[in-house]
Structure 1
Amino acid sequence: MSRVLRASAIMAAGTMVSRVTGFFRTAVLASAIGVAALGDAYNVAYMIPMMLFDFLIGGVLSSVVVPMIVKAQKTDPDGGRAYEQRLMTVATLALLTIAVLGVIFAPVLVSVMTTNLDEVEFQVTVTLTRYILPQIAFFGIGAVAGAILNTRDRFAAPMWAPVLNNIVVIAVGLMYHVVSHAGGDVKAVTSSDLALLGIGTTAGIVAQGIILVIAVHRVGFRFVPRFDLRNARLGEMGKMGAWTLGFVVVNQIGLIITTNLATGATAKAGSEHVAGFTSYTLSYQFFQLPYGIIAVSVITAMLPRMSRYAHEGQFDAIRQEFTSGVRLVSAVIVPAGLMLMVLGPAIAVLIFAHGNTSVDDAVNIGNVLQVFGLALVPFSIYQLLLRVFYSFGDTRTPALIAVGNVVLNATSGFLLYLVLPPHLIVMGLALAFTLAYVLGGAVAWRLAATKVEGGLGGRAVASGLSRMYIASIPAAAIALAALWGTKQIAGVTPLSSAIMLIAGGGAGGLIYLVASHRMRITEITSIIGLVAGRVGR
């Protein structure tokens, strides 16, 4: 537990700053370009290189590359350095090629991703996509550098580097406010406005990649291009990564379906402002905040160690690593999920109801966020379960589970799209997402437990979760009372939302800490002790 906490604390601090600046970035952009057609165009353009990156290398990095680097470090005479250089060479060349092809075929990509855009909206989305797509190469360089750092138990730089990216894009959003007269009007936006948004966004990723290259250089890695690809073990990687590629493809198909349904909701509504793709994206980003701060940190620290334990057949150590990770993550995400369900609109109004985003637009975002709050616990545990499979080199099972997830998510999302009125469609998509991860997590647990002799410690996890929920319910009730009382007195404004969050979130958080201490939820005690120790220094 202590090792997980120490490694996770370093990453969580960086992730906290990264996510906070990330939400300031998101708020600035939403204020600048709104959450209607121009906001949708920007978010679709921003998502396309991320999808291509995940399709080509992102999923493989999370499941195959880290265990293979660990193996090379153990077995190669040079400690795996030449292997790491080959990986960097392959990733850079492949992603540079894809970036060029993506720019050429941007209209095709946009057509696949969207539904019922008019000509102006389509052309604006294509233009932004062409400006933003080149960042995919720097995604790859930074991702391989981050994997190399993780295998050396250096977790800080990959978590802190996105802060610089956020600062650059915040500056771009503020500059757009100053120089553009279009605001959120997609019909009035100029070519120079689009160049500022697109090139500025790419510049942020370039800065992030440079930071990671410097960090990996400081731990002794020297990048020497290597073209002896016969020694890159691409065949072994392909064999291990084939199912991971299938996993990523299936998930990307699901994302494409969701994007089309969300943009279709905006088209269905006509001139009425409803939650659309940008509302889905922004609420999903905030939903990811507690997951990113604690769960990603724990997952990143867990995978290299679990890979070593699996290689050595230490099943007890795998079980202990996994159960400690789940309980540590759940101590934060259980109350966070309930708070999102209660305070979602207040959070969204405080952050987004500025500039070209109205209070009603922000409330739409908050309503979607409330539904995502239901998904926080099952989604996080599902992600932890995948690392059990990956530590054993099993990428086939996660891919097969993902097929079921996407089929359920897409089918239920499409049915809700058909039957719900436009203003509820995106909330329905969030509900479909939740249902998919509840059932997918149950299946993943059952199958992962067969990998580890003696199981995954389900009773210990269930006991911890039940006590965390019992401690969280009074906190959520206090937050709900604060929300209702403030709304009756002051209505819904950014200022009243701040009061709701301070009163409801602060009081609720304090009650959860007291209740968890009295119930001897040791994970909370450990987190508090670690933080207090660091502050005391």
Structure 2
Amino acid sequence: MSRMMRASAIMAAGTMVSRVTGFVRTMVLAYAIGTSALGDSYNAAYAIPYSILDLLLLGVLSSVIVPMIVRAQQHDPDGGRAYEQRLLTITTVVLIVVAAAGTLAAPLLIDLYTDWDAGSTKYEVAVMLARFILPQLAFFGVGAVAGAILNTRDRYGAPMWAPVLNNLVVICVFLLYVVVGSGDEIQAVTTGDLALLGLGTTAGIVAQAAVLIVALRRVGFSFVPRFDVRNARLGEMTKAGSWTIGYVVVTQLGFMLTTNLASSASNVVEGHGISAYTLAFQLFQLPYGVIGVSVITAMLPRMSRAVSDGRMDDVRSEFGSSVRLVCSLMVPVSLLLMVLGPAITVPIYGHGANSVADAVYIGNVLQVYGLALVPFAVFQLLLRVFYSFGDTRTPVFIGAGTTAVNALFMVVFFTLLPARYAVMGLALAYAIAYGLGAVLAWWLAGRRARGLGGWAVGMALTRMYLAAMPTAVLALAAVWVVTGVFGGLGFLNSLIVLAVGGGLGMLLYLGVAHRMRIPEVNSIVGMVARRVGR
């Protein structure tokens, strides 16, 4: 537990700074181009390279590539050096080709991911932005593999801190656009404006990849291009990763449906489309990114080694401690998101080209996403159980079922709800789908690992929710009092609500959980106290 917490703390610190600068990035984005037509076009173009990269690499990174690198390090005579060099070479070549093809196919990609008419201004602007942004694919992919190699060497700092530089570069780009650009009116933007936004976004990824390459060299990794693909174990990787790629394809089809429905809603109500969905989803992902990803990144290599050595008790222990550690913070945060959504988004997005009303709507979407936070985090942890066993097939079926349920509820809610509530309906469908998906994944993973300690985890979660209830009540009271006395959630009122409901609320949770002797919270409090006391 202590070793995992130390590794997770290092990553969480870097991820926290990354997410904070990411907050500033989205604040500046909303200030510069808003969440209406131009903002929707940018966010549609920005999402496409991540979707492509997910299909080609990120989906198999943790499930296939990390375990294969670990095995190469354990069994190859050179400690896996040649294998890592081959992997980095192949990734670089393939993604350069994909980036070039994607840039040429930008109109088709925008047509796939949106419901906008070809020839409309939003469509044409999105196509132009995509052509400037898609070249980042090559750099992002190389950085991702470099980060995986660093993680297998238990070097977690650089992969968690490199995105900070990316965010800083893009923040500067959007601030420059505020000074020299044509504003948020989509009809007024020029090709130069779009080049600044698009190429500036790509420059951030280039800087991020450069940091990771430098970090690799500092741990003694020297890159030598190797094109002897026969020794790259591509057949083994393809066999192991085919099911994971299938899982990613299924989830990306669900994402494609989401963006199409959100873009259709924006045709009826400006500001209630792709940008509202994207910005709310980014905030929803923040707690998982800071806490969950850090724990998962530290957990997976150790679980893979335990499975390889046949130490099943260690597998179950690693998973149980990871779930409890993640949920000890996710539980109160999920309740706070459900109560404080608009109070969070107004200070972040209610400026410049974006109105307070648009920011409040983003907060309403975030409130619904709060329902999904704990199920989503547990779901992701459960998938790593299968991946540590080298089982990439079962997650495909789980993911397919989850995505199918999500798609069904998205269509139902989109059909039944007015357009102004459509994106909130998409968030509700997401919460329902991942709740059911987590139940299914737990049952199947428990059978594979011969038990996951469900009773102990369930009791721990129950105690965490009980400890978090006073926090939720305090946050709700802060909203009622401040809005009742001062009226509305303007910038200053939102900060007051956040200070009382969020700041004091989390301190209240830590105090109550400490008195209830919840071990994970006590460990966190103790670690913080020791660091503050130094």
Distance 2:185 2:493 in 1: 28
CA displacement at 1:534 relative to structure 2 = 2.3
CA displacement at 1:115 relative to structure 2 = 0.2
Aligned residue type for 1:335: P
Aligned residue type for 2:477: A
Tell me if structure 2 keeps the 8 A contact 1:10–1:155.
Answer: yes
> Per-residue displacement from partner, 1:202-249 (whole Å, max 9, x unpaired)?
000000000000001111111111000000000000000000010010
Aligned residue in 2 for 1:105: 105
Tell me if structure 2 keeps the 8 A contact 1:26–1:282.
Answer: yes
Aligned residue in 2 for 1:423: 420
Aligned residue in 2 for 1:300: 297
Distance 1:137 1:41 in 2: 22
Distance 1:47 1:536 in 2: 43
Tell me if structure 1 keeps the 8 A contact 2:510–2:525.
Answer: no
Distance 1:352 1:487 in 2: 19
- Does 2:50 correspond to 1:60? no
Distance 1:216 1:471 in 2: 43
TM-score by length of 2: 0.99
CA displacement at 1:274 relative to structure 2 = 4.5
User: Could you tell me which of 305, 316, 321 is aligned with 2:318?
Assistant: 321
Aligned residue in 1 for 2:134: 133
CA displacement at 1:399 relative to structure 2 = 0.5
Equivalent residues in 2 for 1:462-501, closer than 5 Å: 462-490=458-486, 491-501=488-498
Tell me if structure 1 keeps the 8 A contact 2:35–2:271.
Answer: no
Aligned residue in 2 for 1:515: 512
CA displacement at 1:532 relative to structure 2 = 2.1
CA displacement at 1:3 relative to structure 2 = 1.0
Aligned residue in 2 for 1:49: 49
Aligned residues: 532
Equivalent residues in 2 for 1:98-177, closer than 5 Å: 98-117=98-117, 119-177=120-178
Aligned residue in 2 for 1:503: 500
- The runs of 5 or more residues in structure 2 that have no matched partner are none
Aligned residue in 1 for 2:75: 75
Distance 2:267 2:373 in 1: 29
Equivalent residues in 2 for 1:238-277, closer than 5 Å: 238-269=238-269, 273-277=270-274
Tell me if structure 2 keeps the 8 A contact 1:483–1:500.
Answer: yes
Distance 1:444 1:496 in 2: 42
Equivalent residues in 2 for 1:335-414, closer than 5 Å: 335-414=332-411
> Per-residue displacement from partner, 1:335-368 (whole Å, max 9, x unpaired)?
0000000000010001100000001000000000
Aligned residue in 1 for 2:456: 460
> Per-residue displacement from partner, 1:407-461 (whole Å, max 9, x unpaired)?
11111101111111011000000000001100000000000011113x0111111
Aligned residue in 2 for 1:190: 190
Distance 1:484 1:280 in 2: 26
Distance 1:121 1:452 in 2: 50
User: Could you tell me which of 423, 431, 435 is aligned with 1:434?
Assistant: 431
Distance 1:536 1:10 in 2: 18
Aligned residue type for 2:299: M
Tell me if structure 2 keeps the 8 A contact 1:319–1:452.
Answer: yes
Aligned residue in 2 for 1:13: 13
The alignment partner of 1:451 has SS state of helix
Aligned residue in 1 for 2:219: 219
CA displacement at 1:536 relative to structure 2 = 2.7
Distance 1:111 1:73 in 2: 44
Distance 1:276 1:156 in 2: 36
Tell me if structure 2 keeps the 8 A contact 1:303–1:391.
Answer: yes
Distance 1:274 1:52 in 2: 26
Distance 1:252 1:217 in 2: 34
Tell me if structure 2 keeps the 8 A contact 1:262–1:277.
Answer: yes
The alignment partner of 2:306 has SS state of helix
The alignment partner of 1:22 has SS state of helix
The alignment partner of 1:79 has SS state of coil
> Per-residue displacement from partner, 1:323-345 (whole Å, max 9, x unpaired)?
00000000100000000000000
Distance 1:23 1:489 in 2: 29
- Does 2:527 correspond to 1:530? yes
Distance 1:278 1:144 in 2: 29
> Per-residue displacement from partner, 1:29-83 (whole Å, max 9, x unpaired)?
0110000111111111111000000101111112100000000011100000000
Distance 1:534 1:13 in 2: 13
The alignment partner of 1:78 has SS state of coil
Tell me if structure 1 keeps the 8 A contact 2:92–2:141.
Answer: yes
CA displacement at 1:95 relative to structure 2 = 0.4
CA displacement at 1:514 relative to structure 2 = 1.2
Aligned residue type for 1:149: L
Distance 1:276 1:111 in 2: 16
CA displacement at 1:492 relative to structure 2 = 1.8
User: Could you tell me which of 277, 281, 300 is aligned with 2:278?
Assistant: 281
> Per-residue displacement from partner, 1:4-27 (whole Å, max 9, x unpaired)?
100000000000000000010000
Q: Among the aligned pairs, what percent are the same residue?
A: 61
Aligned residue in 1 for 2:235: 235
Distance 2:419 2:271 in 1: 7
CA displacement at 1:320 relative to structure 2 = 0.5
Tell me if structure 1 keeps the 8 A contact 2:139–2:209.
Answer: yes
CA displacement at 1:98 relative to structure 2 = 0.3
Distance 1:399 1:408 in 2: 14
Tell me if structure 2 keeps the 8 A contact 1:38–1:186.
Answer: yes
- The runs of 5 or more residues in structure 1 that have no matched partner are none
RMSD: 0.8
Aligned residue type for 2:149: I
Tell me if structure 2 keeps the 8 A contact 1:57–1:140.
Answer: yes
Distance 2:60 2:473 in 1: 42
Distance 1:452 1:198 in 2: 46
Tell me if structure 1 keeps the 8 A contact 2:342–2:489.
Answer: no
Distance 1:396 1:234 in 2: 18
- Does 2:428 correspond to 1:443? no
> Per-residue displacement from partner, 1:243-265 (whole Å, max 9, x unpaired)?
00100100110000000000011
Distance 1:189 1:62 in 2: 40
Distance 1:229 1:159 in 2: 30
Tell me if structure 2 keeps the 8 A contact 1:274–1:423.
Answer: no
Tell me if structure 2 keeps the 8 A contact 1:274–1:422.
Answer: no
Aligned residue type for 1:379: F
